[in-house]
Structures are given as C-alpha cells and as structure tokens.
Amino acid sequence: MSDPTSQANYTDIYTQHVSFKWNIDFPNKKITGSATHDLRVSKDQVAEVIFDTADLDIESVEVEGKSVAYEVKPKHPIMGAALHIPLPSGLKSGSLVKATITYQTTKDCTALQWLAKEQTQGKSFPYLFSQCQPIYARSMAPVQDSPSVKIVTSVLPALMSAIRQSPPSDGPAHDWKGNVVYRPFPRHEGKEWTSGIWAEPELIEAAYWEFISWQSAEEIVVPYRFGVYDLLVLPPSFPYGGMENACLTFLTPTLLAGDRTLVDVIAHELTHSWFGNGVTHAHASHFWLNEGWTTYIERLLLQVIHSPADRGFSYIIGFKGLQDALEQYIDRPKYQRLVIEFEKGEDPDDAYSRIPYDKGANLLLHLERTLGGLDVFLPYVRDYVSTFMGKSITTQQWKEHLYAYYDKHGGAERITALDSIDWDAWFYGEGVELPVKMEYDSTLAESSYELAKRWDSARAVEISRLEFTENDLDKFSSTQKVVFLERLQSYKPLPSSHVEYLASLYKVSNTHNAEIRLRFYQFSLADPSSPAAKKYAVEAADWVIGGGTGMVVGRMKFCRDVFRAVYKVDKELAVNAFQKEKNSFHPIARKLIEKVFVGRI
C-alpha cells in the first residue's frame, strides 16, 4: 500500500537530494525561493513527477534547466494540492533528472511558526521554527511528503537538521543576527560524535545544567551514525516535548524543571536516531514502528542506567497515559489500534495520542518476555537496526524479519513462542484493554499508591483533623509525585475542601514542573460540577495561555489536555481563553485544540 497521506508518485520516481535557496522574509512572514530536486527514476517511461504541496504559491518550474508547463491540482482538505510536472520522454529506470520549483509560502503554512520578539525569552529578536511531522513539510516546500522518501543531504546557513559543516561542533557558533547561542557538552569517552546545546542566551545556563547528564543508547543498539547530536531548546509554543530531527533534537522549555527529572525525553529523542531516523515507518499506518520501538528502548535505558524498578516505573506512568488515550477514542475505535489503516487523504493527526508509543512499547515488552528475556531479544534488536538502517518499512516487513531471525537463531522453540502471540489483537485490536494483562515492577510506585489511598480514605474527615503534612512528599521524586496525582484520579473525586487543602499543602498547583502541574489540574478538574473544579479551571486556562504574556504553554501534551479538561468544567472559559491567545499557539496545536471545541470554533 502506498502512503495514504501523499499524492506523490514516489514509487515511480523519487527525490534523492534536494537543495533549497530561500529568502526568509520576517516582515511578511513567508519564505521565498526555490527547491531543486535530484530525482532518481525507478520506472521506465515515467512521464511526470508529482509533488505534495499545501498552500504554496508556485511561480515557475524548470526541468533540466528548461521552463516547463506544470499543473497544480485542486486542493484536497488534508493532503493539499498535487503539483504535476512533465518529464522528458524515454526516461529509463536508474536515470537522474533535475527539477527546480520557484515558489513562496503563504500565511496558511502549517509547518512554520513565526514568533514576534515578545514571544521569546530575550524579547529582542523575532524567531522562526518549523515542525513538519507528520504531513506538513508540503506547506513549506514542494516535496514527496512521505517517510518512505528519505532526502539525505542539505547544507544551509541556518540551525537545522543536517550534518553540520559549519561551525565545527567543538568551535564557536556563528556570529549571526539572532539570539541563539551554543555550548558544547563534554565529549563522551570513546564516542566518535559530538554534542552540544543551543538556546536563547537567557536559557543557555539552565538548559546546559539540565541536560548535561543525558546518556547514549549505543550500549544497547549499534553505533551512532550521524556524527553530531545537538539539542535546541525552542520557545514555549513548540507543540511537542521533543522532535527527533536528525543531528538536532528540538526540545520544549517545559523540560527545564530545575532538577533533571525530565531528561528522559532526551533519551527518547536520541533513540529515534535508530528508530525513526534510522529505521523509518513506511507511512502513517505504521507510525508505531517509530514510537513504540523508541519508547521501549528509552525505558530499557532506564534499567541499564538506573535499575529494573525505574524501567517498571516508567511503564506504570505510561500505562496511565495509554488508558486515557484509549478512553478518548472510545467513539472512534479505529484509532485504538496499533496499526491504523488510514483511508486515502485521512488526517493522521486525528489519531495522534499515546497509543503508538505505549501500546507499541508494551507489545515489544511482551515479545521480550515471551521469547525468553533480554539476552534473547537484544541480539535481535541489533540485527533489526542493522538490517533496515536507512530504509522505510511496514509492520509486515518487521514481522517477517522477526520470524526469519528467530527461525535462524532460535529454531522451533522460538517460532513456537512467536506463534503464541495474538498478533491480530495487538495490531488491530480495539477497546480499552491490552491483549494481555501486563505486570510491571511497582517498587517505586508503592509509596505514591499508599499516600493516594490515605487521601481516599480520609475523604469524610474534617480538614482540621486530617493527618497530612507538607513533608509527605519530601522523599518523593518528581515522577513519584506524578504517580501519586494519577493514582488519586483512579478514585472517586475528593471533596472540594480536600482538593484545595491538598493543593495548598503540597504546592502542586503552582509548581514549575509542568508534568506535576498537568496531573494536578487533571485531578482537580475531575468533577466538573465541584467548586474546586471551577476555581482551578481558571488557573489551568491561565497557565496554558501564559497569563496573557503571549508565552503560551504550547506543548500539546499539556495545552490540549488542559483545554479538554477546562472545557468540561466551563465551556465559555475554555473557548474565550483559547481565543485570547489563539495565534500564539503553533498552527498544529491550534488545529488540534480547535477540534476539542467541535461545534464552537
């Protein structure tokens, strides 16, 4: 099956390299310039190349240096407008042809967010960043916008996802007219690659301190192949926790908790260098191959670096997010599947949730256990990466490789183990339960569970007689506080008086740790009719819109869930808060938040 989200004919002719010549027009918020594609023919007599575009203004097209007539087809609401370009006749498979498209972006470009200087930490320069996953590169440039097409090289005088030519990673940064600075991390012993942190000057010290302790996945998988691994802390409107751009991971500033408790995101994004940027899903239906594998390895790193208990604890936290996501799609069970057979032109963002991450990671954990543990499974992981590095594959290709490996390296015993797995239930099963009941090491969660149980048992006790103190959380890590608040959500909502007392006692309603703050709002807004929910809905809405500063909490994990919770408490409050700072959110976040208010916006 070809990519259901693309109109490009990449199976007939595909982009091998592309070079961009761009003028970044900040006053008019657009990019003008050209994209030159080196195209490799894979089908004899191919007559045209088709590129994906979305809201681009195409000015001219040249093929092999000669101007040609082209056609931009009517716009599809999800996939955009297909750009058809005729090719010279008689092309043979394997031959190369060059096409140059001159164009400019428009105000409807989903991939770009143009920030006014007031929306940055330094408030001195405007800021531009791009976010192209899953299908938004086509709004920034005419491309074959599918993960099945890998464009391998580009060099720009900009901070971007590419092999860095200048400046050297151990040298000074460019003296550009911007407000982003670089600081190298100490070189890892025995590593052939380098790493550093980019941020606005106002954040560079905090970011360097926060992220200097992150670790490599090389000891689990195979050597890192991209030469440089840098981190870039973006302004607060960035819609994701991290984005695994090759060589340059984009990060949200919500990770700057001040206690290094959220650096697991770095492990996750680095792991994408093998699973996602290395071995890539063929198209959106197989997105779990990126995120499920990455989440599984990220949690395995916690066991290697810390302990098995830390690995189990991460699965416990992830399972709560998985349950919430499965419940969210109870009316759209198709999106509860691990492998989603998207219709042609269906929006993959409608299915974006924790499901491919956590259902996928649980499948792999189940597979590890079924096959006999890490000693049996890790050699397969390394073979999987080595076999498919640089390729884009489907779930079926992965499964066939899995069986072939264990047929060769395990024989009948391993094949019998694989046959015991209910593959259809994992890939295509719907509902709010996993195909098997998963057990995790709950050692680190027990204290959180116990404190939550005490609060539940004290719901009928007068506030003046409650036996809780502000020291209850002193020995809790940030993640244990998260699990405590999540566990509370599994009980009937506490009385408003108890919710407000808990917030005051533990200071969880104004913490700088966004993960804790999100869980508090989810807990306090659980009973939409309660006075506490009315009170904290106002605080929650104000938090995600940045208190009117334009510095919104744009990470969708937070803003989307908070708007969803606030909307259940006070629809007018949620809509009005969003409308107030609507244009401060990234276009992707804006689109998905609006879907929370279906029928209102």
Contacts 24+ apart (CB under 8 A), 560-566: 560/589, 560/592, 560/593, 560/596, 561/518, 561/522, 562/518, 562/521, 563/593, 563/596, 563/597, 564/596, 565/521, 565/522, 565/525, 565/537, 565/540, 566/525, 566/537, 566/540, 566/541
Tell me whether residue 88 is annotated as binding.
no
d(CA 139, CA 148): 18
- Predicted pLDDT of residue 332: 96
Tell me whether residue 438 is annotated as binding.
no
Q: What percent of the chain has pLDDT over 70?
A: 94
CATH number, span 281-428: 1.10.390.10
Tell me whether residue 555 is annotated as binding.
yes
CATH number, span 1-108: 2.60.40.1730
Is 536 among the residues known to form the active site?
no
Q: Does 3.50.50.60 match the CATH number of domain 445-596?
A: no
pLDDT, tens digit, 9 for 90 and up, residues 277-326: 999 999 999 999 999 999 999 999 989 888 999 999 999 999 999 999 99
* Rounded mean pLDDT, 141-164: 70
- Residues near 148 by Cβ (< 8 Å), separated by ≥ 6? 3, 10, 280, 282, 283, 392
pLDDT, tens digit, 9 for 90 and up, residues 333-361: 999 999 999 999 999 999 999 999 999 99
- Predicted pLDDT of residue 160: 62
- Predicted pLDDT of residue 218: 76
* Rounded mean pLDDT, 403-418: 96
Which alpha helices (H) appear in 373-513, and where do they start and end?
374-388, 395-409, 411-419, 423-428, 446-457, 478-488, 496-506
- Predicted pLDDT of residue 508: 95
Q: Is 153-273's fold the same as 281-428's?
A: no
Contacts 24+ apart (CB under 8 A), 79-82: 79/5, 79/6, 79/7, 79/52, 79/54, 79/135, 79/345, 80/7, 80/52, 80/53, 80/54, 80/55, 80/138, 80/139, 81/53, 81/54, 81/56, 82/7, 82/8, 82/50, 82/51, 82/52, 82/53
Q: Is the pLDDT reported for residue 191 higher than 80?
A: no
Q: Is the pLDDT reported for residue 445 higher than 80?
A: yes
Tell me whether residue 242 is annotated as binding.
yes
Tell me whether residue 14 is annotated as binding.
no
- Predicted pLDDT of residue 163: 58
Which fold does the domain 153-273 belong to in CATH? Answer: Zincin-like (3.30.2010)
Tell me whether residue 133 is annotated as binding.
yes
pLDDT, tens digit, 9 for 90 and up, residues 223-261: 888 888 899 999 999 999 999 888 889 999 999 988 888
pLDDT, tens digit, 9 for 90 and up, residues 521-571: 999 999 999 999 999 999 999 999 998 677 899 999 999 999 999 999 999
Active-site pick, 357, 406, 501, 521: 357
- Predicted pLDDT of residue 154: 40
d(CA 485, CA 264): 20
Tell me whether residue 188 is annotated as binding.
no
Active-site pick, 200, 269, 368, 500: 269
Tell me whether residue 243 is annotated as binding.
yes
- Predicted pLDDT of residue 155: 44
Tell me whether residue 224 is annotated as binding.
no
pTM of the model: 0.88
- Predicted pLDDT of residue 370: 98
Helix (H, G, I), strand (E, B) or coil at 287: coil
| DSSP-derived secondary structure for 96-140 | EEEEEEEEEE-TT-SSEEEE-GGGSSS-SS-EEEE--TTTTGGGT
- Domain residue ranges of the chain, discontinuous segments joined by +: 1-108, 153-273, 281-428, 445-596
Q: Is the pLDDT reported for residue 156 higher than 50?
A: no
d(CA 151, CA 154): 8
Average of per-residue pLDDT values in the chain: 92
Kindly state the tokens that stand for 185: 């991390």
d(CA 96, CA 64): 10
Return the H-helix or E-strand segment holding 162.
none
β-partners of residue 32 are 23, 104
d(CA 520, CA 26): 39
Helix (H, G, I), strand (E, B) or coil at 436: coil
Range name among 16-30, 149-163, 423-437 with the lowest pLDDT average: 149-163
d(CA 34, CA 103): 6
CA 239, chain centre distance (Å): 9
- Predicted pLDDT of residue 157: 43
Pairing of the two strands 181-184 and 194-199: antiparallel
Kindly state the tokens that stand for 474: 């002193």
Length of the chain equals 601
Is 269 among the residues known to form the active site?
yes
- Residues near 582 by Cβ (< 8 Å), separated by ≥ 6? 590
d(CA 54, CA 109): 7
Tell me whether residue 399 is annotated as binding.
no
Tell me whether residue 556 is annotated as binding.
yes
Per the listing, tokens 């149980």 go with 453
Q: What percent of the chain has pLDDT over 90?
A: 81
- Predicted pLDDT of residue 501: 98
